[in-house]
Each structure stands twice: as C-alpha cells, then as structure tokens.
Structure 1
Amino acid sequence: MKIKQPLFGLLLVFGLFFNCQNETVNSVDEQSETLEYNSTLFNLISTIALDEDINCLDFEYPLTVSIYEADFQLTDIVTINNDDALYLFLQTLDTSIVASLNFPITIVLPNEQQIEVNSNQALQTSITLEGNSCYNISNCTQTDVANYLMDCNQLPTINGFSPYLTHFNFLEDNNITILYEGDLLFNGVWDITTVDGNVYVFITINGLDNYNGQWEVVQCESEQLVLEQNDSVLLFIQSCNSNPFSCFEDVTYTVCDDDDDLIVTFNLDGLYQDCNQSIVGVSYHISYEDAANNVNPLVSTFTNVTNPQTIYVRVEQYSNPDIYQIFTIDVTVEDCT
C-alpha cells in the first residue's frame, strides 16, 4: 500500500514527478473534461492509484492533466508518470482548483488487455464495471497456487461445509490423498493450468464427486485459497505442521501390580492421548519387524506377557502411509503389595 504523504510535503514532491508547461489559452480543450474534487470519479481514480480495493486495474502512463484558472484559462499541463505521482497530485486538488483529464486514457487489465476511454463518463463506467469483477481475478500465479497446495495439508470447506477431521494432500506427482472425516481414505489426481491469465485447478477424486471439476482460482492469500466452479465455492486452508511426529516420543512406563503376579492390563492409547492424531495413524506391535511391516497390530487394551516388555509404536501419515516413524514403550510392572 502506498503511504499517504502530509499535504505540505506533496508540493515539494511535485518537482520530482511532474513536468509543467505554463501556457495560456482561451478555453478548455474539447478533449478535456473537468475532474471535480471528491466526486465519484475522483475517488475511483484515487483508489486505483492507492492500489486498494480496485487492485486489478492500472493506467497506462504517462497521463496529462490540465490546470485552469477560475475563468478556464489554462495555466499548467501536468504530466504524471506513475501511481504514486497520480495520488500525490490528487491530494493537492480542492474545490478552488479546476483540473481536467486529457483524453484518450488507457486502462490496463491484469491479462494485459487495454481499454481506451475518451470521456469522464466512459472512464467512470469502465472503472466501475471492471472493478466489480476484480474479485474474480486471481492475484496469484500458477506457481504460487501449486506451491500453496503442496506446501501443507489442506483443510477443505465447500459451500460453507467443513467436513470433520478431513484434509487433502496434494502431491508433486499430481496425485491427491484424502483423509475424510477421520477414517475414510480416498485417492485422486489433480492438475493446474493458466488460461487467459486465470489459474484453474482440476480435481478428480473417486467417491467425492462434489470436489471434482475445473475450479477457477478467484482469491489467493497466505491464509486461504478460494476457488469457484459455477455456483460452488471451495476453500482450502493450510494445516501446516513441519513434523507431524514431533509430539510422539519413546516412553518409559511403570505400572503398579497389586496381586503379585507382575501381569497388568492397561490402555496403550492413553500414553499418547495429548498428541494430535487427526493427520497420523498410531498402531502398536510386539516387535520392530511387525511395526516396520505394519502387520499384527495389538489391541489398545494390552496385557503384558513379560516383565519388562517393549512395545513398538508405528506412527504413519494418513495422507502417505509410507512416511512413518517407530517409537518404543518400555513397560515395567512393579509389585505394589
């Protein structure tokens, strides 16, 4: 965002931005129209110069503005070379200054399309019409969108509905893995392209038809990605955890036995209950080999068969089970009689 300068400093800056010609004529040129201070057009132009709200439009520079005395005698022609200079110039205008834009003026759209206008009314209409469609124009490149999708797991919201414990994992090989509502796994493919300056994401998932199709990126921010398809709106919010295994660790667990047989039944899930298991699955195994091969999982209600005994814990990503780590629980039963 461009910084608003105090008014007393604006006049000083003019010498850096404008070339003025002191000429005198008898009337306003037919190709110029008065720009009224604080009018709708004045405010629209100011907004473009500030790059606020209407940030998908720009002017082709240089522009020239004619300055007149109260009797419409031309005193100056100001040449403006960029947005900063335009905003600074507008801040010096007030109801006592008569200024007019010199047409034609060219508006430049994000796809490099140019619109030439020849009057105040045409300029105001073009800014209003094109400005109203700004929200439909993505301010991200294809690379930006692809990186956003692949950087982290994505939490989806479609038409206002956010399925519980659901995330999408967009992979570099154009595959997608989805954990849906905590325990359902889906697979699909995705792709991305740019057409006429607009970025589109293609999604195909067997069994989740609501997410399928050609989605146009209409908003791209650090917090969320907004896509549209017909009347549907799909939001992706990143769920970034650089190490989903960071909460898990090797555990030494001592349990008390009251009947002197040194055999105790306890719940294994309670040992990692504070760890987020929405994006990882946890299984328990009697040997390291079983954990590595993901076979013969134990039930969470476990009774030791030796004392001490080591249990092997496999923690794997739901989105890609080939990514996993193995931790140990060393159980020691003590006689408490």
Structure 2
Amino acid sequence: MQIIFGTGSVTVGGEWYTSELDGSVVVTISGLTDFTELEGDWMLVDCDDDRYVLTQETANQTVEMVLEQDCSSQPNPFECFEDVTLTICDTDNDGFEVIELETLVVGPVICNVDYIPSFHETLIEAENNMNAIQQPNVYTNTINPQTIYLRIQALNGSFEVFEIEIVLEDCSACNNPSVLTNDLVIYMPFADEVKNLISGEVMAYYQ
C-alpha cells in the first residue's frame, strides 16, 4: 500500500488486507513507514463508487476515516483511443494479409499522456495482460473479419481495452486500371470547341 501525502512527493509504504467479521468488511493496515496512527483494524461502514467510510474503535472514542477518489483532474490516456475498424486490401484475395497494427492503430494517435500499448487476440488475454502479440507490425490475420484487442495501460496500472476490427476487402478489380477507364469520357476545351475524348480512341490535335 502507498499513501501519497498532499500534493508533495512523500510516499508512505505499508500493507493492507481485507477480512470479514460478523458480515462486515474489515480493512487491516500494518507496517506503515509513517502515519502509524492509521494502523489497525478499520470497519467499512459506508461504500460508494468513489467514497469509503471506515471506523476504528479506540479506548476513548470511535475514529472515522474517509477515503475519496477524485479522477476528474487526473489525466489518462484512455480518452485518446476508441474502437476502430481497419479495412485492408487483400491483394491476392486469399483472405490473409500482413498488417501493421501498431502503425495503423497507435501511430496516428496524438496523446499527451504516457501509456503502454499491447495487442492481444482475445479479450481475456488483453484484460489479464497475457500473450501479447510480439510483433504487431507484421501480424497476419487468422480469419476474416477478425477482432484484435488493444490494451492501453496507464503508468499507474489502470487500463482499458479497445476493439480493433480487421476487415479484408477484395482488391483484385483494382489490378487492371483499364477496367475503370474504358469508355471514360473527358470533356476538354480546344480553342472555341469542346471535344469528347473517349478512352481507347486516339485523337490528334494541331494548332
């Protein structure tokens, strides 16, 4: 356990664990390097998403400790990312391509907060930070379409997982540009006349 005191850089080390007593949650704090008056058993009497109220019985009185979490002013990298879809050209139409995940997904992101990215093939692996894709810039998809999971971890250890959907498209029609230009009509002015230039026809113009 670490306690950050005020706005300074004083860090207090120690340990804590929870237990149950007569249906109530008890938090036991021990081994503090400072603020030793916080050590001992604390009973959790009230609990919200961002606020915990604990009490400790002493010889003379009941001491109350309130823990509050304020994330509004804490910058995090998660706002820099979102779920995205990558549409990749399947050059030989076999359903597989080598994909530069890091370049395509992380590269364009502008984020002023430090973070640690990793790509995973399953959501469970991303949530548990296991089996990260070792070379995300030379990743070959296994199915089409396929969902890859991007884990973004902040320096304090918190993380979020984003879905990256990979979709391969058949680009074989683009291999022959003439398919797109056959019978294309272009209108160009020649002096006071407008001539129709039709693809595949040769037209000579002399001034």
TM-score by length of 2: 0.47
TM-score by length of 1: 0.30
Larger radius of gyration: 1
Larger RCO: 1 or 2 (CA < 8 Å, sep 6+)? 2
- Greater strand percent: which structure? 2
- Greater helix percent: which structure? 1
